[in-house]
Structure 1
């Protein structure tokens, strides 16, 4: 197979995967996650069920794959921090940058579509439960960046950071979902980020983090 053929085949797979995901999320947003079957998603995307499951391992993954780009992100931020910058300073700066960029992972967005997507995740029990698998993987990656494998202190701090990040993102999204002004919510989100990291530092500084 030529390099050109390989490239076209890869592109076709990417387009199929995207088409399946877009069809699924459109149906979920219109009718609710539990009210849509995998067979209906496959039909909407014009693929078979076996084909769908070759691209996505579960119904939940059709939604949560959007979080995959952020897997390990906290660990990468810590590893790439400038000399003299503490892990928490690097993580706080990164979270503030995500807020400034209106990144959906921060909960701060003025896009109705993104707000609806986050509502789908937060308010669907099976999606919320599966999201913890992503968070657990992210926590483990951060713990490895903070200290040697098995370092309980590093694991505790990583777990605390992951929890704090999720609380901040959910609180920010909830205000926007209630109709609060995005500019006002952004100010609150930045202030709460500072407060959250101050709380983390009170315990972390004494342990060398």
Structure 2
């Protein structure tokens, strides 16, 4: 029963999220009330808030699902592999599979999703909050193999690099650069950016 209950909860969560994002992309985040999202997902407003505590969470759970990922990459790296090398390889792998968090994904819904997040102050602020949490988690993981100051500085630099690269990729796609043309440049830019970080 526990497995079935969990599966049902996941289906409800996905239905709410899908309804929210569809409405937000059609009309704009600020133009759609939560009550309308609940009605579209066929749940009550209290049920919606049980799954998503804030309106912003309806959108940004896709980003929140990646929280702690950088720290996990560092802690689960191969024996003898430097933390920065593991993070660099992880980002390159994300580019190769066109993970939306790298900005290198030209699916119309992904493009519209990024545009909405960048253009909505409350969503952009929440993304900054998530990034600050990720930075702290990464710094803690890095501090297991270096001093605290170095760990904090490197964590901030890695996340800044990835943020700049992702935004650069999305903007190029938004300007009409074909993904096939952009991908080699995105890989070169990532190599250059990570090579500027301290080993």
Give 2:5's match in structure 1, choosing from 5, 9, 12: 9
> 2:185 matched to which residue of 1?
188
Larger Rg: 1
Q: Which residue of 2 aligns with 1:110?
A: 106
TM-score (norm 1): 0.90
Correspondence for 2:160: 163
Take 1:197 and 1:9, find their aligned partners in 2: how far apart are those partners?
Answer: 44
- Segments of 4+ moved more than 4 angstroms: none
What is the aligned counterpart of 2:39 among 31, 39, 43? 43
Counterpart position of 1:85: 81
Q: Distance in 1 between matches of 2:5 and 2:81?
A: 44
CA distance in 1, matches of 2:184, 2:121: 30
1:32 aligns with 2:28: yes
- Bigger drift between 149-158 and 23-32 goes to 149-158
TM-score (norm 2): 0.94
Whether 1:144 aligns to 2:140 is: yes
1:97 and 2:93 aligned: yes
Quote the offset at 1:110 in angstroms.
2.8
Return the offset for 1:150. Answer: 8.3
CA distance in 2, matches of 1:88, 1:11: 37
Tell me, in whole angstroms, the C-alpha distance in 2 between the residues paired with 1:30 and 1:67.
20
1:154 is aligned to 151
Instruction: Write the distance in 1 (CA, Å) between the matches of 2:178 and 2:190.
Output: 18
User: After superposition, what is the alpha-carbon deviation per residue over 1:47-77, rounded to whole angstroms, capped at 9, x for unaligned?
Assistant: 1111111110100000000112211111111
Q: Go from structure 1 to structure 2 and tell me whether the alpha carbon gap of 1:188 and 1:177 turns closer, same or farther (over 3 Å shift).
A: same
